[in-house]
Amino acid sequence: MTGWVKDFKILIGKKVLTAVCLALLLLSQVGAAVAQQVEPTRLVRIDLDREEQLARLAEMELQIVAQIGTAEGGFVVAALADESQQRELVKADYTVSILDPAPQGASYYLLYGLPDELSRAEEVVPPLVVEGRQAVIRATPEQVSRLDALGVRSMLLVPHTIVVSPQPAERLLPTSLTPSPVVQRMIDHVTSDTLYNYVGQLSGEQPVILGGVPYTILTRYTPTGQPIQKATRFVYEHFQALGLPVGYDYYILSGWNLEKRNVVAQQTGEGQPERIFLLTAHLDSFSGDPYNLAPGADDNASGSAAVMAIADILSRYHFDCTLRYVLFTGEEQGLRGSVAYANDLQALGENLQGVLNLDMVGYNTPGTATTIELHTRAGNAGSAIAILFADAVDAYNIDLTPQILNDGLSFSDHSPFWDRGYAAILAIEDWQDHTPDYHRTTDRLGTLHMSYYTRFAKAALATFAHMGCLLDGELAGTVSDAVSGNPLAGARVEARLNGTSQAVEQTAADGTYQSVLKAGSYTVAFSAPHHRTETVNNVQVASVVSTTLNQGLQPCDTVEQVSFSATPSTSPVGQPITFNASVGGGAQPVSFSWDFGDGSTGSGAQITHAYAAQGLYSVTLSADNNCLFPVTAHRVALVGDRFTFFPLLSR
């Protein structure tokens, strides 16, 4: 074998060996990639003892399907995890079990119901997780329809990553509640008629007027086009009419690929606007025929109408913190609207300090206990809101029985705020006595228990008012005759702050008055017919509480009329004129003030004045014996070749 042949064979051998090695390496990489691609994802159950463990799940970016609180204060998390994530969970000492080995293409739902309701649900579809009143199932739309027919509440679960944010560092929610006369006045303005009217408009019992044209809202189902657009526009215009800044918060309704919107109105705080509190409800509805008829009077026109009515009242008052009134859509599709909004707030870094969410607050069987449920989650600061709500019911003697349930019920629009570390609660009717028309076309206005519903709305208003840093206080008292002691009806009470009138009240038949005022130092003037006007300076009004200011007025005879004469009756420029005042009725002493219409003034019953230029002048005389208001008379003077007075009526 020649040398070059030998070298050629060696070269060829090396190339073949290199090619084989490269091929094997490529095959191993492809195999690894294929293995990675086909690594199965499973729905797993992860049991947590405490909320802090959620942070580790957030770092792993697991897709969370459900998060349910346990009676012991822990959590059950249902999450989608591949094999490597499952190994990582086990390595981190989490308790992990497989719920569904093949979740591809599956739809999962959260169920909520009483034990017998969940037991009936098992006959339709076996649950994957059951904790208290909540269960997670894998179901088809047909199975969900059967569950709705059984009265079992269901909600589509949308996988999402956990976002853990720290609770706001500064929390100033009151730890106890002292009843305020200002808040009591607010409560008194919540009426059944208002709530009835708003629910009737939202549920299609009566048309609404939009752009001057009547429209009947027969459904508020989020995937619809015009109906949900009209419903959101209706509440938008309602908040706008209150003078509140209002806007739409847009999001994409995944699965339908539709742009939808929430409605957000804001009452900006005066001293601490960065501290934000939300009053929320979901506006959308659902039924067995959702595209055509889903009145949703209880679920959840009742909550939405309560938010509207509360905004009507609170928007008239002053708050140090910012209040927002938010109505969500997409709740029935898996809290889509509230998830999007909570994400927006967190991305903006806003200092959200509390959320009070109202969902189904209008039904109670007449003659039964008026129970309401306040749902919290272990480790969430919302428990302070629930306690405040219960305290408000007690402090204002509202005939309700609150039950605080620390069960982590994630069945409404408060839940996305929990998931992001914000304090929140759900306020809802007693589920052991909830509406039998849930998710049916028969969920109509006539099924609501208006007395129960009105009390629920009053309690929600009281709670939210105490959450929001109320600035207003009350000035109250009695105006009476200083000699007889009898109350003076129709007396005038005017409060002025820095020289500007802030409120004018008239006393009732018993002489009492109440005036809501922003905290500050006031000058208060009291007046009544045939009584001397009295002014009190440096009256201190404090926030939330009532300041008492009683005032006695000395009786007197009010000046009935005043007139004056001028001598001579004609006068050229520069010649003095003598003015003489006279009064009819009224106790002495009477003071007289003159305005000669040329910038000159004077006082006294008789006075002399000369005009420096020819012209037409209005002369005004005021007579005051400090008994009610000054009485005035006017005359017009023509100074020059002729000087003539034209008498006008006095007042």
Kindly report which listed range (2-11, 317-326, 565-574, 589-598) carries the lowest average pLDDT score.
2-11
Q: What is the pLDDT of residue 160?
A: 81
* Rounded distance between C-alpha atoms, residue 538 and residue 439, angstroms: 58
- Evaluate the omega torsion of the peptide bond into residue 126 and state whether it is cis, within 30 degrees of 0: no
Q: What is the pLDDT of residue 8?
A: 34
Whether the per-residue pLDDT at 168 is higher than 70: the answer is no
Tens of pLDDT, residues 439-474: 999 999 999 999 999 999 999 999 999 998 999 999
Average pLDDT over residues 602-612: 93
Find, among 261, 187, 178, the residue nearest to 225 by Cα: 261
Distance CA 644, CA 640 (A): 10
Are 488 and 480 contacting, i.e. CB atoms less than 8 angstroms apart?
yes
d(CA 572, CA 566): 14
CA dist 327 and 198 (Å) reads 14
pLDDT value of residue 16 = 41
Share of the chain above pLDDT 90, in %: 66
Please count the CA atoms within 13 angstroms of the CA of 74 that sit on its side-chain side: 11
CA-to-CA distance for 591 and 573, rounded, in angstroms? 29
Query: What kind and span of H or E run contains 261?
Result: strand 258-267
pTM of the shown model:
0.78
Four-residue CA torsion sign, 208, 213, 215, 221: negative
- 561-647, CATH topology level: Immunoglobulin-like (2.60.40)
- Reply yes or no on whether the pLDDT at 645 is more than 70: no
Q: Indicate if the pLDDT at residue 206 is higher than 60.
A: yes
Lowest-confidence segment of 175-179, 225-229, 383-387 by average pLDDT: 175-179
Using DSSP's 3-state secondary structure scheme, residue 529 falls into: coil
pLDDT value of residue 189: 96
Q: Which residue has the tokens 């005359």?
A: 635
The whole-number average pLDDT for the span 230-259 is 96
- Band of pLDDT at residue 33, cut at 50, 70 and 90: very low
Q: Check if 41-156 and 181-467 are the same fold.
A: no
Buried b (16+ CB within 10 A) or exposed e, 132-158: bbbbbbbbeeebbebbbeebbbbbbbb
Q: Does the pLDDT of residue 480 top 80, yes or no?
A: yes
Beta strands 95-100 and 41-48 are: antiparallel
Distance set, CA 434 to CA 221, 268, 298, 502 (Å): 21, 36, 9, 46
Q: What is the pLDDT of residues 506-536, one digit of tens each?
A: 999 999 999 999 999 999 999 998 888 899 9
- Domain definitions of the chain by residue range: 41-156, 181-467, 472-553, 561-647
Output the average pLDDT for the chain.
Answer: 88
- Rounded to whole angstroms, what are the CA distances from 419 to 59, 65, 263? 14, 12, 21
> Averaged over 63-89, what is the pLDDT?
88
User: What is the predicted pLDDT for the residue at 7?
Assistant: 41
The CA-based diameter of the chain, rounded to the nearest angstrom, is: 155
Q: Which of 11-20, 100-109, 232-241, 637-646 has the highest mean pLDDT?
A: 232-241
**Per-residue pLDDT for 197 more than 50?**
yes
According to the model, what pLDDT value does residue 22 have? 45
Distances (CA, A) of 366 to 400, 435, 442, 445, 449: 13, 12, 18, 15, 7
Cα angle for residues 271, 459, 359 (degrees, 5° grid): 100
Q: Do residues 511 and 489 make contact, with C-beta atoms less than 8 angstroms apart?
A: yes
Pairwise CA distance, residues 447 & 299, whole Å: 12
pLDDT at 25: 47
Q: 181-467 in CATH: which number? A: 3.40.630.10
Taking 60 as the threshold, does the pLDDT of residue 11 lie above it? no
Between 650 and 260, the higher pLDDT residue: 260
Fold category of 41-156 in CATH: VC0802-like (3.30.2130)
**Whether the predicted pLDDT of 490 surpasses 80:** yes
Nearest Cα neighbor of 86 from 104, 99, 75 is: 99
Domain 472-553 has CATH 2.60.40.10: yes
Report the share of the chain in percent with pLDDT over 70. Answer: 90
